[in-house]
Amino acid sequence: MRLTRAGEYAIRCMVYLAFKGNGVLVAKQEIAVQADIPSPFLAKIAQDLARAHLIEIRQGPKGGYVLIKDPARITLLEVVEVMIGKIQLNDCVSRPGSCAASGRCRVHKVWDDASALLRHYLAGVTFAELCKDESCLPVFSVHNKKI
């Protein structure tokens, strides 16, 4: 399992929106600049986040993105899995039929347990925790410009 660029950008977007606050309209260009996400990529990511009922997309010249779920109730696991699917460290865990030995393989249980531990850990991290103060912003932004 490796976090994709889309997953990384989705996390950056959500951190920025969580920092701005639940229900606050934030311009797409502001997020793109502050979170260092290419604007066309951000639009695609936003579609996935909107389908997961995490954000709302508002169209038009005064449009942008609105966080519609409390950041204290959004976990890192939720956003990662919206973007890449369920976290599994090996194909044999997500698709036992892909490996003829998975039913008797001792390593299969290790992958399964490790996947569960990682998912549990990420489920314990909320976006409210990730953006308690302004210090969360420079972690993601190389620009950190005022808009």
pLDDT of residue 147: 47
List pLDDT tens digits, range 80-126.
Answer: 999 999 988 777 666 666 666 656 778 878 888 899 999 999 999 99
pLDDT of res. 93 = 67
8 A C-beta contact, residue 24 and residue 67: yes
- The reply to whether CATH 3.40.47.40 applies to domain 5-140 is no
Question: What are the start-end ranges of the H helices in 74-145?
Answer: 76-84, 91-94, 106-123, 127-130, 136-140
CA dist 40 and 25 (Å) reads: 19
pLDDT at 96: 65
Could you report the per-residue pLDDT of 35-93, keeping only the tens digit for each? Answer: 999 999 999 999 999 999 999 999 998 899 999 999 999 999 999 999 999 988 777 66
Q: Domain residues of the chain, as ranges?
A: 5-140
141: pLDDT confidence band, cut at 50, 70 and 90? low
Model pTM? 0.85
Which residue carries 């990730």 as its tokens? 130
Element (H, E) at 55: strand 55-58
